């Protein structure tokens, strides 16, 4: 078996050397880590990871191969900029696998590095924070100085407007299983495929629209499809760059249309309500993050993937042009805001991923909560 050297270069000058796998060449992005022990296919195809080089804390990756069912992006695209792992499984051992992880990465041009000390990398990112990085292999592996220069010259994730990169260019519809009970207009900021699937299980049709859809267009679509609610999905980048969407969301809130937001959608709802967002030191990425729902006292173990968050405190109430609002959820690890809502019940959102894929299903009933809001408004 041939050995091709590779290097992970961080913008602070730290360099980790290992062995290349997947495609060869150069890729740039923000180095982040995920604590998920399973679900690497779902992670890699999640559009929220656009422009990020993902470091896996799980010691072995690739043992379940790659299948044609579990991808979380439309078209099965891999969105991570690169993958950093400790050990690559030499054989695939799962009855659902259609091919190996390496085969899929080569086919989609995704660069990886293995045989590096991922524990040391994660400790570095935890202590120093997520940082610009680059993966280099093959002919792209040059001098340390040249590689570092390329890494340091890339744009920062703060201020990055990435939703347009991952959003659909045109409307599409995901039909429900069985009878159509309700219809929602779903803004695609980088939507995971399991979200419309969760709506579909409940008899809800999803009319998925581009990230730049105006309120006027939403109104027309609501009339055309007899829709009764609006949803804003997860997505990559800095929410401060999405103020155009925030302005459209304000019109939706003023009209008292039932609203539900996930991840990026939570940040946009917060900004529409007058809250500020900020970049976390190293973010929340994994499938084991505890969140407290302050309204019910329930603790959910959640799947998360976000590098930005809302500024606020647990149970903080504040006035908005749309009525009184409250911080409803916080993370038990670090008190980061994980949910916000209008107290009249017309709009709510969470920072984590109730659609899971991969991850625990504790928060899945949030889809039922939104369904109940649609019922009230029908």
CB contact set of 199 (below 8 Å; sequence gap of 6+): 174, 176, 184, 186, 205, 206, 231, 367
- CA dist., res. 288 & res. 286, Å (int): 6
Q: How far apart are the first and last CA of the chain?
A: 62
3-state secondary structure at position 192? coil
Using alpha carbons only, give the angle 44, 36, 281 rounded to the nearest 5 degrees.
85
Q: How far apart are CA 254 and CA 234, in angstroms?
A: 22
Q: What is the DSSP string of 196-265?
A: HHHHHHTTEEEEEE-TT--HHHHHHHHHHHT--EEEE----S-GGG-HHHHHHHHHHHHTT--EEEETHH
Q: How far is CA 334 from CA 303, 328, 338, 361, in A?
A: 16, 15, 11, 22
Cα(291)–Cα(255) distance, rounded to whole angstroms?
30
Evaluate whether 44 touches 83 at the Cβ level (below 8 Å).
yes
- Cα–Cα distance, 259 to 213 (Å, whole number): 15
Q: List, by residue number, the catalytic residues.
A: 263, 353, 355
Q: Name the phi and psi angles at 180, rounded to 5.
A: -80, 110
């Amino acid at each position: 078996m041939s050995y091709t050297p590779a290097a992970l270069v961080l913008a602070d000058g730290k360099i980790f050397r290992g062995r290349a796998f997947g495609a060869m060449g150069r890729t740039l992005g923000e180095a982040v880590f995920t604590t998920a022990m399973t679900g690497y296919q779902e992670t890699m195809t999640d559009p929220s990871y656009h422009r990020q080089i993902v470091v896996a804390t799980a010691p072995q990756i690739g043992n379940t191969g790659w299948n044609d069912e579990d991808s979380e992006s439309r078209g099965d695209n891999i969105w991570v900029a690169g993958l950093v792992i400790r050990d690559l499984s030499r054989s695939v051992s799962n009855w659902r696998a259609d091919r190996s992880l390496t085969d899929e990465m080569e086919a989609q041009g995704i660069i990886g590095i293995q045989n590096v000390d991922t524990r040391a990398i994660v400790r570095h990112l935890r202590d120093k924070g997520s940082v610009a990085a680059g993966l280099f292999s093959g002919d792209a592996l040059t001098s340390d100085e040249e590689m570092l220069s390329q890494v340091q010259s890339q744009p920062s994730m703060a201020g990055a407007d990435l939703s347009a990169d991952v959003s659909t260019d045109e409307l599409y519809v995901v039909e429900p299983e069985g009878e159509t009970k309700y219809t929602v207009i779903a803004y695609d900021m980088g939507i995971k495929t399991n979200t419309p699937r969760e709506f579909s299980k409940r008899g809800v049709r999803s009319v998925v629209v581009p990230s730049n859809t105006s309120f006027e267009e939403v109104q027309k679509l609501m009339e055309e499809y007899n829709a009764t609610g609006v949803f804003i999905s997860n997505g990559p980048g800095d929410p401060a760059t999405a103020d155009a969407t925030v302005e459209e969301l304000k019109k939706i809130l003023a009209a008292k249309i039932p609203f539900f937001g996930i991840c990026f959608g939570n940040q946009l709802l917060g900004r529409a309500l007058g809250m500020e967002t900020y970049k976390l030191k190293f973010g929340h990425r994994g499938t084991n993050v505890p969140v407290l729902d302050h309204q019910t006292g329930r603790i959910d173990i959640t799947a998360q993937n976000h590098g930005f968050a809302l500024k606020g405190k647990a149970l903080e109430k504040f006035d908005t042009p749309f009525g009184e609002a409250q911080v409803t959820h916080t993370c038990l690890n670090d008190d980061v805001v994980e949910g916000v809502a209008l107290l009249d019940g017309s709009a709510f959102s969470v920072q984590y991923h109730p659609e899971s894929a991969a991850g625990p299903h504790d928060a899945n009933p949030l889809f039922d909560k939104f369904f109940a809001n649609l019922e009230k408004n029908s």
